[in-house]
Amino acid sequence: MSKKSFTVIELLLVIAIIGLLFSIVLVASSGARAQARDAKRKADIDAIRKALEFYYIEHDRYPKKTAWVSLEENPTLDTGEKFSEAVGKWLPIIPKDPLWGKTKETGEPYSYQYRTTDDAKEYKIHVEMESGIYAVYEIYSPEGGEIVYGALADFDIVVDDDGMAGPTGCAAEELTYSTIQEAINAAAVGDKIYVCPGIYYESIIINKSLTIRGDNKATTIVDANESKEVVKVTANNVIIEGFTFRNAYSNTTMAKGIDIGGSNTVIKGNIIENITSDASWSLGIYRTSGAYNSFINNEIRNLIATASNKAAYGIYHWGVLTEVKGNYIHTFNGDKAAGIILGTMNTQILNNTIENLVCQTVCAGIALGSGSKNNILNNNKITNVNSTLEAFRGRGFQFQDSSDNNTVSNNEITNTGYGIFNLDNSEGNVFHNNNIYNNQLYGLKNNVTTTIIDAENNWWGDPTGPYHPTTNPDGFGNAVSDYVDYDPWLTSEVSL
């Protein structure tokens, strides 16, 4: 019986097949390792960002470094201390990229790169990735707020006004959506939409739970082109961030920047401007229904209501809120006006600046009504809120409609008619450690004769205390009305 051996061709074929199978296994194994390294990168960055947030809570800023640095090198911060010294009690060991010291084929180093803005109120961390369709992973935090994942790393849909973008960036040459509404219509519930810089001439309706983030609030612009509203939200659990919303107009009804009809909506880091009604109210953010919404770090400006007895309101929300924080609201004109007008309970109203509101009748920096109770109003600054009619004057804070048991502390109220106006059976409100000065008529006016307001330990603009015609006639500070307990007072300004 003869024995048949393999031919050379057969041997070469077997070797080629084995080599191909080995290559497939090697590629699959390499891909799995890359995915594991990327997972570690995300876990590392999550640990770093948590430490940064704890640092922010203590210092009201992030560890300052205004130039890009690699955290693996434990860089010296602009304040002179090492990064590890700044965050060490929350992050004992600074993580390193799994491929630290190596570079990608494109030349970018594998490292956790960090920088802050000049005021250290914002930071960004940049990471080079290996697996998936995304080349980079970035996170940033606006002024201590919730972390937002960016650089197209975690977004399901990309929008660019020229219809060309891709997962690697807004400059990519891949077909995509050219309008935000098209992307919303195509999105699934829970999707994240990234909008590239550009001007989008549209009014948008958000009817499902989505995260929609603009590339930059100064350059990612939604222009309503004189439609009555720029954005209408009808779903719960919507996040909108990083846009300019502008140019809503109506001569028949209300004009609105953002109309909210859902709960758990977060509006943060946006500019809302040029909202005008010639027939009714002009509104920056307006709630028609829903609760537990949050408005954080927005700028609302240039609201105009021209009709008689109509109002320009920056934030108007009747319903329980989660927080109203860090908003800059300014430059309004209407028959009535208010920077923030709320009917809410157990809400934190913090670090807002309201200035340059002009009205013809009643205007206020922050007004609480409709039974607002147990709210915290802290570190707000209100200035230049005035009425053109002397009989009304402006009000810094106004409490009405049985708004009870609110705590007002560490605020500055200046250059209004009434620094604080308490009326309509509002009781139990407490005012401590505020700067109340240069207000025309009263620092604090209490119209409720059945209760005495606790307003001890405030600065009234002069070491002699507030003026009261009978109980402190020698006081050169802002005047107080009857039914105000102002003694003891502060003899110097509160440092805010």
Q: Which two tokens stand for residue 229?
A: 């509203």
Peptide bond before residue 75 is cis, with ω within 30 degrees of 0? no
* Averaged pLDDT score across all residues of the chain: 89
Calculate mean pLDDT across residues 190-199: 92
**pLDDT tens-digit series, residues 277-324:** 999 999 999 998 889 999 999 999 999 999 999 999 999 999 999 999
Question: So what's the pLDDT on residue 442?
Answer: 97
Query: How do residues 116-171 score in pLDDT, each as one tens digit?
Result: 888 888 888 888 877 644 455 666 665 444 434 344 556 788 899 998 876 666 77
Listed in order, strand segments (DSSP E) in 278-335 are: 282-287, 293-296, 299-305, 311-318, 321-325, 328-334
Amino acid 14: pLDDT: 67
More confident residue, 354 or 137: 354
Element (H, E) at 8: helix 8-59
Higher-confidence position of 105 and 75: 75
Give the mean model confidence (pLDDT) for residues 105-124.
Answer: 83
Q: Which is more confidently placed, 154 or 393? A: 393
Q: In this prediction, what percent of the chain has a pLDDT beyond 70?
A: 88
pTM above 0.85, yes or no: no
Q: H helices within 174-223, ranges in order? A: 180-186
Per DSSP bridges, beta strands 376-378 and 348-350 are parallel
Q: How confident is the model at residue 456 (pLDDT cuts 50, 70, 90)?
A: very high
Predicted confidence at residue 143, as pLDDT, reads 47
CB atoms within 10 A of CB 401: 16
Using one digit for the tens of pLDDT, what is the confidence trace for 40-73?
Answer: 988 898 899 889 988 988 888 899 998 889 999 9
Q: Is 418 helix (H, G, I), strand (E, B) or coil?
A: strand
